[in-house]
Structure formats: structure tokens, C-alpha cells
């Protein structure tokens, strides 16, 4: 498996020879040392993508579609290998990563056909001597800055439409999960022309170099609100086009007439998928006061029955968090809420074992003075607050910096 930069269809060491470790969040063991690209490496990748664009943009749409379909076929051919590698570096159970890979392959198939069928349009003119029409054209080099929680799916959502439309890409994967991206490129993208796809592994300086580069007119980023704001502030004076998928504090409301058993299973899935490390996770819950105990107790029993462990093992429901600092953030929010009067029904602790595990946690007696109800948690916690009327529930849902 390659652990170097991928530029112009060749594997390269970082310009300064630096490397960084990637570990397994379930065991804390180092999986590999990966090339630590920086500003110079990002510039070299952009130059390769810029050169390739002049040919790729004129490649017939049918041919581009065929090449993207081939990416999807190769993903499915190497399904199990990629799913297990995802689990090793990112933690989700293999079954969840098989879903991610299925979605990623489908994305390439979908956008292959979208690109094949892109159409301009003719606009009726008010003047008989004019002919007005629209032609859709690619932008050029697209910088794809990808997070660690769904490394291949969120890459596919950026890369597939960019390539289908005739753009080239420079990918900056998360420094926490670069291995699957590199293996995906090695296995599934080697048939693409040189320079069309490039990968620069490394830290924030490599990503910022893409944002600042004058020859990268489009940035597609998934990550935190703070980083998204930073990207927007850099890109705005350059009039770059941005696609920003950022964090949130999504609400789950139990209606007065809801089926409690179905709601419990739905909430557990939406709150604890990928150990709660999803930008659309249910991170705050509102239930009618007279249904709180039955719902919360049932949820605590269900959550308490879930098996925490290494995602490579059979029967594991929830894997580790991605790193110690992310687990610490969850633990601090839970501990602060407990100190302020919240009650923990299950979980609320890190097991005494290797790996960045945190027990899935259900809390009651929370309110909006607590950070756990206001700030993004991005972990396996489910705080439950009561409401008296549905109008109050809607007001509470909207009482958030995230809307």
C-alpha cells in the first residue's frame, strides 16, 4: 500500500522528506508512516492538475462517464479490502464502512451519468437578430478537502461531480485517515489520465495552500464551522466558489403521539452511527414531559445493550472515537452537564482499555444553559430535555447558534 503523495499519476515523497504516523483508534497502534506534504507539494499538485485540465476538459462526456463508471466498478471489486482498511484507520464497524463504500460507488455511477447528460440551453431572444444560449463549462482545478469521519463517501461527493463536469482535482485527505484514500487512488483511479486526480497528504498548511492558490477556483470542504469560516475569509477576496459542508447541533423531537419503540431505535441509529461522529447526528433531544421517563428509560436500556469494541470484530455495534482529543471534548461536555444537575442513565465514561472508546451516554435533566445542548458534541452522547407544548419544542429547536 502506498503512503506517499500522488501527483501526475506518480508516487512522491514530500518535498522536505517529512512523514507523520497514522494510528488505529481501536488499538492506538501505528498503522503506517505517511508523507507529510506541505505548501510546495500542494503547489506541484495544482500545477499538474492545471496542465491536465487543458486536455480533460475537452475529453468527450461519454468518455469521462465511462472512466468514472470504471472507478465505481473497481470500488466494488475491492469492497472488502477498502472496508476493512477504513475500519482500521477510522474505527467504524466494517458493516458501516461497507455502506459507505456502496454510497461512494453509487456516487461515481450517478455523476458519470449526470456528466454524460449535461446540457446547455437556448434562451428566447427579444431581438430577431440575436441568438442567446448557455454553455456549461468546467471551472478548472477543484480543491477537495476531506474529513476523517467518511473519508471515501465525502471524497466521492466532491471528486465525482468535479470530474464528470470536466474539472481536475487536488485532494487533501484528513491527516487522521489518509490511508484508505491513497489505497482507493492506487486501486481504483490508476486508469485516469495523468494529473486529473492528485493527492497531497499532510496537515492544515497543505489544505490552506489549496485555498490560497490562485489557480484553484473552487474549494469543496467538509469539516468544522470554524475551519469553514476561515476558508471563506481567505477565499472571499479571491471570489472563489465554495462548497462548505459544516457542523451542526441537530435536534430530534419526539411528538406527543409518536411510537416510542420505533422512536428509540431511530434515535439510537441517528445519534450513535459512527459513534456519533456525523455532521447530521441527532445531538439534542426534546420529548413531552409526560413521556420522558418511559422514553428515556427505554432508550437507556437499548443503548446499554449495544456492544462497544473494535469494528473488525463480529457483533460490534459501536467503534472507537477517532482520537483522544475528540473523546476528551465529549467527556468534558458530559461532566459539565452532570455537575450542573444532569443525570446520566447509562454510559458517561471511557472504558479502561486501549483505544479511544467512550461509552454511549444518555442524559436527562439537561437544559439550554449547558454546552452539551448548545455546542456541537460529535460523539456518542444523547441529552434529553422535556417540553410542555409542541410550539415550545419548535422554539427550543430554533434556540441554537446553528438554527
- Backbone phi, psi, residue 359, to 5°: -65, 135
What is each CA distance from 381 to 57, 96, 204, 361, 387, in whole angstroms? 46, 19, 28, 5, 20
Q: Among 115, 124, 221, 125, which Cα is nearest to 173's?
A: 221
Whole-angstrom Cα distance, residue 74 to residue 77? 5
Q: How far, in Å, CA of 342 to CA of 194, rounded?
A: 57
Largest CA distance in the chain: 79
Q: Active-site residue 188, yes or no?
A: no
Question: Residue 230 in contact with residue 59, Cβ under 8 Å?
Answer: no
> Regarding beta strands 197-199 and 141-145, do their DSSP bridges make them parallel or antiparallel, or are they unpaired?
unpaired
List 245, 261, 314, 376, catalytic entry = 245
Is 283 assigned a catalytic role?
no
Give the length of the chain. Answer: 403
Cell of 91: 474505527
3 state DSSP class of 172 = strand
Catalytic residue among 144, 188, 189, 279: 279
352: cell is: 479502561
Residue 363 gets which letter from DSSP? E
Pairing of strands 168-172, 381-387: unpaired
Cite the active site residues: 245, 279
Amino acid at each position: 500500500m502506498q503512503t506517499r503523495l500522488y501527483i501526475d499519476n506518480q508516487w512522491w515523497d514530500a518535498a522536505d522528506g517529512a512523514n507523520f504516523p497514522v494510528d488505529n483508534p481501536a488499538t492506538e497502534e501505528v498503522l503506517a508512516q505517511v508523507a507529510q506534504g506541505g505548501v510546495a507539494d500542494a503547489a506541484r499538485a495544482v500545477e499538474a492538475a492545471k496542465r491536465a485540465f487543458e486536455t480533460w476538459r475537452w475529453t468527450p462526456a461519454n468518455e469521462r462517464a465511462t472512466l468514472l463508471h470504471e472507478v465505481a466498478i473497481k470500488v466494488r471489486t475491492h469492497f472488502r479490502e477498502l472496508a476493512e482498511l477504513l475500519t482500521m484507520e477510522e474505527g467504524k464497524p466494517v458493516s458501516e464502512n461497507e455502506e459507505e463504500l456502496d454510497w461512494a460507488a453509487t456516487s461515481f455511477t450517478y455523476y458519470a451519468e449526470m456528466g454524460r447528460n449535461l446540457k446547455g440551453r437556448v434562451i428566447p431572444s427579444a431581438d430577431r437578430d440575436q441568438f442567446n444560449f448557455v454553455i456549461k463549462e468546467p471551472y478548472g482545478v477543484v480543491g477537495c478537502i476531506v474529513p476523517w469521519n467518511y473519508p471515501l463517501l465525502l471524497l466521492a461527493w466532491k471528486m465525482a461531480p468535479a470530474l464528470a463536469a470536466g474539472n481536475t482535482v487536488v485532494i487533501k485527505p484528513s491527516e487522521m485517515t489518509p490511508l484508505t484514500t491513497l489505497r482507493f487512488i492506487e486501486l481504483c483511479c490508476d486508469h485516469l489520465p495523468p494529473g486529473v486526480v492528485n493527492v497531497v497528504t499532510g496537515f492544515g498548511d497543505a489544505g490552506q495552500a489549496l485555498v490560497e492558490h490562485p489557480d484553484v477556483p473552487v474549494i469543496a470542504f467538509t469539516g468544522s464551522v470554524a475551519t469553514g469560516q476561515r476558508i471563506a475569509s481567505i477565499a472571499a477576496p479571491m471570489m472563489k466558489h465554495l462548497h462548505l459542508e459544516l457542523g451542526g447541533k441537530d435536534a430530534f423531537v419526539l411528538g406527543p403521539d409518536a411510537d416510542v419503540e420505533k422512536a428509540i431505535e431511530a434515535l439510537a441509529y441517528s445519534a450513535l452511527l459512527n459513534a456519533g461522529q456525523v455532521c447530521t447526528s441527532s445531538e439534542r433531544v426534546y420529548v413531552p414531559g409526560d413521556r420522558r421517563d418511559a422514553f428515556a428509560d427505554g432508550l437507556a436500556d437499548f443503548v446499554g445493550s449495544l456492544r462497544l469494541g473494535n469494528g473488525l470484530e463480529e457483533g460490534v455495534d459501536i467503534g472507537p472515537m477517532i482520537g483522544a482529543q475528540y473523546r476528551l471534548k465529549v467527556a468534558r461536555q458530559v461532566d459539565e452537564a452532570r455537575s450542573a444537575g444532569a443525570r446520566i442513565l447509562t454510559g458517561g465514561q471511557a472504558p479502561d482499555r486501549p483505544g479511544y472508546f467512550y461509552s454511549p451516554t444518555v442524559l436527562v435533566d439537561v437544559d439550554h444553559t449547558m454546552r452539551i445542548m448548545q455546542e456541537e458534541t460529535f460523539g456518542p452522547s444523547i441529552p434529553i430535555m422535556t417540553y410542555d407544548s409542541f410550539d415550545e419544542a419548535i422554539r427550543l429547536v430554533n434556540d441554537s447558534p446553528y438554527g
